[in-house]
Structure 1
Amino acid sequence: MAKEPYGNINLDLIREMSEAHGISGCEKEVSRVMKKYMAPICDEITYDHLGSIIGLKKGHLGPKIMIAGHMDEVGFLVRDIDENGFIHMLPVGGWWGHVLPAQTLYVTTATGKRYHGVVGSSAPHGLPKEVKEKVMKPIDLFLDLGVDNRQEVLDLGIQIGDMITPDTQFEVMNNPNYLMGKAWDDRLCAAAAIEVLERIQNDDITADVYAVGTVQEEVGLRGARTAANLIHPDIAIALDVTTAMDTPADQGTIQLGKGVVLSIMDAGIIGHKALLKEMEAICHDLNLDINYDMMTVGGTDADNIHKAYDGIICMTLSIPTRYMHSHRLIIHRKDYVQTVEAIAELCRRLDWDKYRALDQQFR
């Protein structure tokens, strides 16, 4: 019997977010997608000066809640073009060299034209054992555009500093609950912030709800800082992905299809204890599944948001994904849907009494 897809999601939104191209510092194409979907359901759309987009649904003079997902994906910049027309690349964000050889990438010029290329690879025949077992450095790889020389590349309008991104089409997998695409880190969560607004658009809420697509997360959580300073939220939820540990290559407790993941801590934040308890209560009330995540390395936008001004009540909710920071990642609809439902309910419940109760944690 064919599997039924879990819950209601906006597949068009998710597809467009995944297939948009935008590394750190080049997120405009992604923010345009977010604006397209937020405009009909927001009272106001603004930007910070780095390019983070902020959609506001106004409440009734209540606390401000910021829901942030970052728009940038890992990719590359054109670092050099050699005389034979091969492009040498500068990684933007974390890459493992072994996921790249023979994969196709796009170069986007300053005028928006896009050109296809393939990452060079070596045939295994006759390679010395020490070469086969050597860890590849992404900065040593090159992109082959299928041209004769450097001048041909320049004639295409490609310049030093142009963006390079994975060539991946969104796909619903054989079980429709599994979705594959690029840039789930963190376009999936930026889309989730929009879907929270869609869930509450007809609700009479007290809180002002800000859905934010932040920039430059992969290179230092930069947009989270500027957006938080612009909004000055009372409470914030950072949405990000976490590593699914349910494949033969990775074994652990975080698995696809298990529901909401509450992040207790990472390298840059210890989640606010009272907010964590509130999210647990919401999940229990809505019969949502609860999982917990703790990371000793890496972080999310929450790491910068919670330090804004005199401190923001803040934590991260995570959505598991397989094959992070590669061309193709896989996620599960249930995790996405339940995360959206939990945050939407927090937005409905948040008023000044609730805020003061959470704020008493350290008093």
Structure 2
Amino acid sequence: MSKNKEVTYHNIDLQMLKELSEADGISGCEKEVSRVVKKYLNNYIDEISYDNLGSIIGLKKGKPNGPKIMIAGHMDEVGFVVRDIDSNGYIKILPVGGWWGHVLPSQEMTITTSAGKKINGIVGSRAPHGMSNSEKEKVIKPIDLFIDLGVATKEEAEDLGIQIGDMITPNVNFSIMNNQNYLLGKAWDDRIGIAVGIDVLKKLQNIEHDANIYVVGTVQEEVGLRGARTSTQIIKPDIAFALDVTTAKDTPVDKGEIKLGCGVILSVLDSTALAHRGLIEKIEEICKELKLDINYDLMTAGGTDSGIIHKTFDGIITMTLSIPTRYMHSPRLIIHCKDYIQTVEVITEFCKRVNSELLREMKTTNR
């Protein structure tokens, strides 16, 4: 084997990742995703419940009075809703979540009707012929784009069952790339976080632990961390992890320390939360013991479910663990298997170790 050939990481349920990535679910429309999450959670949990917004909560029980650990990943992806249908059958769109107009023209999209029917179309674009330089350099606002269904009239579009408010998502198939560690799909933000939580439960099968472990697929993160609030109020956790993605800065146009395949990423801070010092120190300790790679992320813009979780009730010991991802908030994202596996490993080991004594120790860190 060539010295430069990268190790291929195995023991990942690629079918689960495929189903999570390909499910359609923007903020407020996460039911299709929730059903996939439930299918896999059911293999490893003792109880399942929901909050009234639709967040799904799976509990693997520990000791009756053991600490409560919440592992949260959000189910919603950025997308659109149908804003209007014009007389020629073109679909006007309204973004749900943050989009950059450059990534959208000529992309294939799926409209999911209220009856669950899937209808494909493409985002319209212009040919460059005859355009001025200023027009070519201008980024179109997503709200000014439209979807072409290949129909001639509004009536044809309505006959397909399309209505105002229907969900629109990128039509992208999961795939393994040329280096098999690299996985392409839509909605890794944040289906990969949910997958990490499910795999933590899988690794804890037949292992005794004090902690009561709640894996949560939260809703409406992209529009204001809303499901994090309601699910946290139900669980009342002692310790919480928000699992999310962060920007991989290893491309010709975006350079930095965070790269695909770099391992565990500890989020020290973002615009909505500071990692709890006691928790981040314990995760660092476990990473060193397990010989996992440690990286640090500091974001001055953006946030995760930690932003709500940590300030619920009288404060919850919380931090974010991130998976580096290329091309966030676009139709196609790329992740690396090593980062996924190492994140599962460190959280699994933490869940094995947590008991009342360790919880008391962490609570005194900031006092």
The residue aligned with 1:25 is 28
Q: CA deviation at 1:4?
A: 4.8
The residue aligned with 1:69 is 73
Deviations 1:303-344 (A, max 9, x none): 000011100000000000000011110000000000010001
Tell me the distance in 2 between the aligned counterparts of 1:7 and 1:356. Answer: 37
* 1:351 equivalenced with 2:355 (yes/no): yes
User: Which structure 1 residue ranges, 5 or more long, are not aligned?
Assistant: none
The residue aligned with 1:78 is 82
Deviations 1:241-263 (A, max 9, x none): 00000000100010000100000
The residue aligned with 2:109 is 105
* 1:58 equivalenced with 2:61 (yes/no): yes
Q: CA deviation at 1:204?
A: 0.3
Q: CA deviation at 1:5?
A: 2.4
Tell me the distance in 1 between the aligned counterparts of 2:266 and 2:156. Answer: 51
* 1:44 equivalenced with 2:47 (yes/no): yes
Aligned-partner SS, 1:40: coil
The residue aligned with 2:217 is 213
Q: Is the 8 A contact 1:65 1:233 kept in 2?
A: yes
Q: CA deviation at 1:362?
A: 2.1
Give TM-score, length-normalised by structure 2.
0.98
Deviations 1:225-256 (A, max 9, x none): 00000000000000000000000010001000
Give TM-score, length-normalised by structure 1.
0.99
Tell me the distance in 2 between the aligned counterparts of 1:332 and 1:318. Answer: 12
Tell me the distance in 2 between the aligned counterparts of 1:236 and 1:114. Answer: 36
Aligned-partner SS, 1:362: coil
1:226-245 pair list within 5 angstroms: 226-245=230-249
> How many residues in Structure 1 have an aligned counterpart in Structure 2?
363
Q: In structure 2, what residue type is equivalent to 1:36?
A: K
Aligned-partner SS, 1:348: helix
Aligned-partner SS, 1:55: strand
Root-mean-square deviation (CA), in Å?
Answer: 0.8
Tell me the distance in 1 between the aligned counterparts of 2:332 and 2:8. Answer: 20
Tell me the distance in 2 between the aligned counterparts of 1:157 and 1:15. Answer: 27
Q: Is the 8 A contact 1:57 1:201 kept in 2?
A: no
Deviations 1:101-145 (A, max 9, x none): 000000000000010000000001111111001121000000000
Q: CA deviation at 1:7?
A: 4.0
Q: In structure 1, what residue type is equivalent to 2:238?
A: D
Aligned-partner SS, 2:365: helix
User: Which structure 2 residue ranges, 5 or more long, are not aligned?
Assistant: none
Q: Is the 8 A contact 1:7 1:334 kept in 2?
A: no
Deviations 1:141-187 (A, max 9, x none): 00000001000011111000000000000000011000000000000
Q: CA deviation at 1:361?
A: 1.1
Q: Percent identity?
A: 64
Aligned-partner SS, 2:43: helix
Aligned-partner SS, 1:217: coil
Q: Is the 8 A contact 2:277 2:366 kept in 1?
A: no
* 1:325 equivalenced with 2:329 (yes/no): yes
Q: In structure 2, what residue type is equivalent to 1:80?
A: D
1:257-296 pair list within 5 angstroms: 257-296=261-300
Q: Is the 8 A contact 2:270 2:299 kept in 1?
A: yes
Aligned-partner SS, 2:260: coil
Tell me the distance in 1 between the aligned counterparts of 2:277 and 2:50. Answer: 30
Q: Is the 8 A contact 2:45 2:60 kept in 1?
A: yes
Q: In structure 2, what residue type is equivalent to 1:121?
A: S
Tell me the distance in 1 between the aligned counterparts of 2:267 and 2:102. Answer: 29
The residue aligned with 1:160 is 164
The residue aligned with 2:315 is 311
Q: CA deviation at 1:79?
A: 0.2
Tell me the distance in 2 between the aligned counterparts of 1:167 and 1:82. Answer: 22
Tell me the distance in 1 between the aligned counterparts of 2:312 and 2:8. Answer: 39
Which consecutive aligned stretches of 4+ in structure 1 deviate over 4 angstroms post-superposition? 1-4
Aligned-partner SS, 1:45: strand
